[in-house]
């Protein structure tokens, strides 16, 4: 159907990695499938381990469970469709499914930003105000903070996705990406998008920078507190409690910033695809590995679960 110079778009085509040779696409499929399974299993194990062990019911592990749930959701929104484009060359995605994928991409991404800030605040209270920490971070307070983190993604996802998909699309329906991200879809719009682009830039900066500043402020206070600690053992324990979170934050914000805040002259579609893989595929896989390998309590509980499993007669 056509109206003037505009064509009603019923579906998009994800170009994904179609420029690569079939053999390379097959190798990528195996690599991403392995990564997907590792991500799902790793985050599911984090949830299992921190749930079954009563000793891991502290606020830190409560927020870690929520982070793992977010990572699973974020990963499932992007990777299965990408695997389909590589294996079955199923590059078509309906208008509705594209909008749904973009919505949940923004939802999980924004929620993770605020959850990481909440986890930094938790570490700040635990190290800088340990006497009042059990009172301030009660179970009710933890649930409220987690709920706010999750709900923070709703307005971002709703406004940006609804606004973008209210524009008319015309001409090409090929999205030069492996998922429905805002910039490549926006290029297909045949209308004035200046106001939307201003909103998108301002919204992205607020969603990314506000939690980032909270994280930075928390770790500045934590750093000063650790420096003032008299014993080396106290400093080591204090640093070990937040080192995993700090590494996860660095991976998440580092890869996201390189993708969305680079100059357009250095931001070719192919380079953006590679950078997008870092926070959509690699980071969700590394998070459970980082927390399990760098956390003695998690490793101990996991070993106990394995020993009990092996002791069960068949």
- Mention every residue, 6+ apart, whose C-beta is less than 8 A from residue 49: 56, 298, 301, 302, 305
pTM of the entire structure?
A: 0.87
Task: Name which residue leads in pLDDT, 309 or 219.
Answer: 219
Please state, rounded to an integer, the average pLDDT across all residues of the chain: 84
* pLDDT of 9 strictly over 90: no
Tens of pLDDT, residue by residue over 99-114, are: 999 999 999 999 999 9
Percent of the chain with pLDDT over 90: 44
* Range from 74-78, 96-100, 258-262 carrying the lowest mean pLDDT: 258-262
* pLDDT of 38 strictly over 50: yes
d(CA 90, CA 53): 43
Q: What is the mean pLDDT of residues 166-177?
A: 87
Q: What is the mean pLDDT of residues 11-29?
A: 84
Q: What is the mean pLDDT of residues 204-231?
A: 89
Query: Does any domain span residue 311?
Result: no
Structure tokens at 163: 């606004």
* pLDDT of 244 strictly over 70: yes
pLDDT band at 303 (very low <50, low <70, confident <90, very high): low
Q: What is the mean pLDDT of residues 210-214?
A: 91
What Å distances lie between residue 287 and 22, 203, 251, 266, 294, CA to CA?
31, 26, 9, 28, 11
d(CA 94, CA 253): 30
* Range from 75-84, 105-114, 200-209, 285-294 carrying the lowest mean pLDDT: 285-294
Q: How high is the pLDDT of residue 11? A: 85
Q: How high is the pLDDT of residue 296? A: 67
Give the CA radius of gyration of the chain: 22
Query: Does any domain span residue 122?
Result: yes
Percent of the chain with pLDDT over 70: 86
Per-position DSSP letters for 149-182, written without gaps between them: HHHTHHHHHHHHHHHHTTS-B-S--EESSSS--H
d(CA 314, CA 312): 7
Q: How high is the pLDDT of residue 314? A: 44
* Range from 42-46, 112-116, 193-197, 303-307 carrying the lowest mean pLDDT: 303-307
Query: Does any domain span residue 113?
Result: yes
Query: Does any domain span residue 68?
Result: yes
* pLDDT of 142 strictly over 70: yes
Q: What is the mean pLDDT of residues 307-314?
A: 54
* Range from 103-107, 154-158, 310-314 carrying the lowest mean pLDDT: 310-314
Classify burial at 284, counting beta carbons within 10 Å of its beta carbon; exposed 0-12, middle 13-18, buried 19 or more.
buried
Q: How high is the pLDDT of residue 221? A: 93
pLDDT band at 2 (very low <50, low <70, confident <90, very high): very low
Query: Does any domain span residue 28?
Result: yes
The enclosing domain of 248 has a CATH number of 1.20.1070.10
Query: Does any domain span residue 186?
Result: yes
**C-alpha dihedral, 283 to 286 to 291 to 294, nearest 10°:** -130
* Contact present, 6 and 167 (Cβ < 8 Å): no
Task: Name which residue leads in pLDDT, 89 or 165.
Answer: 165
Question: Which residue from 168, 251, 130, 140 is spatially nearest to 2, judged by alpha carbons?
Answer: 168
Q: Of the spans 44-58, 84-98, 118-132, which averages the highest pLDDT?
A: 118-132
* Cα three-residue angle 92-93-94, rounded to 5 degrees: 125
Domain count within the chain: 1
d(CA 131, CA 309): 38
d(CA 9, CA 172): 9
Give me the residues paired with residue 92 across strands: 13
Structure tokens at 299: 């490793």
Orientation of helix 194-228 relative to helix 232-260, angle to 10°? 170
Query: Does any domain span residue 4?
Result: no
d(CA 258, CA 106): 17
Q: How high is the pLDDT of residue 134? A: 92
Query: Does any domain span residue 219?
Result: yes
pLDDT band at 4 (very low <50, low <70, confident <90, very high): very low
Question: Residue 136 belongs to what domain range?
Answer: 11-296
């Amino acid at each position: 159907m056509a109206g003037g110079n505009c064509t009603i778009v019923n579906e998009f085509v994800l170009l994904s990695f179609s420029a690569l040779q079939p053999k390379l696409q097959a190798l990528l499929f195996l690599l991403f499938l392995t990564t997907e399974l590792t991500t799902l299993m790793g985050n599911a194990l984090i949830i299992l381990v921190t749930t079954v062990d009563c000793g891991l019911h502290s606020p830190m592990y409560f927020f870690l469970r929520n982070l793992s749930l977010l990572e699973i959701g974020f990963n499932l929104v992007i990777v299965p469709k990408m695997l389909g484009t590589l294996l079955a060359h199923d590059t078509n995605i309906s208008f509705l499914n594209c909008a749904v994928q973009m919505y949940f991409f923004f939802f999980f991404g924004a929620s993770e930003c605020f959850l990481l800030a909440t986890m930094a605040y938790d570490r700040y209270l635990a190290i800088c105000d340990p006497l009042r920490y059990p009172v301030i971070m009660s179970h009710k307070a933890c649930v409220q903070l987690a709920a706010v983190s999750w709900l923070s993604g709703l307005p971002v996802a709703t406004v940006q996705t609804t606004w973008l998909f209210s524009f008319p699309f015309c001409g090409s329906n090929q999205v030069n990406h492996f998922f429905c991200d805002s910039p490549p879809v926006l290029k297909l719009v045949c209308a004035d998008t200046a106001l939307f682009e201003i909103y998108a830039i301002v919204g992205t900066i607020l969603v990314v920078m506000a939690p980032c500043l909270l994280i930075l402020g928390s770790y500045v206070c934590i750093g000063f507190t650790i420096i003032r600690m008299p014993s080396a053992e106290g400093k080591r324990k204090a640093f070990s409690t937040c080192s995993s979170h700090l590494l996860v934050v660095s991976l998440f914000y580092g890869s996201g910033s390189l993708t969305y805040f680079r100059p357009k002259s250095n931001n070719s579609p192919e380079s953006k695809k590679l950078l997008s893989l870092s926070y959509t595929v690699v980071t969700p896989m590394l998070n459970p590995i980082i927390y399990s390998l760098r956390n003695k309590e998690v490793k101990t509980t996991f070993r106990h679960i394995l020993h009990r499993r092996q002791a069960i007669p068949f």
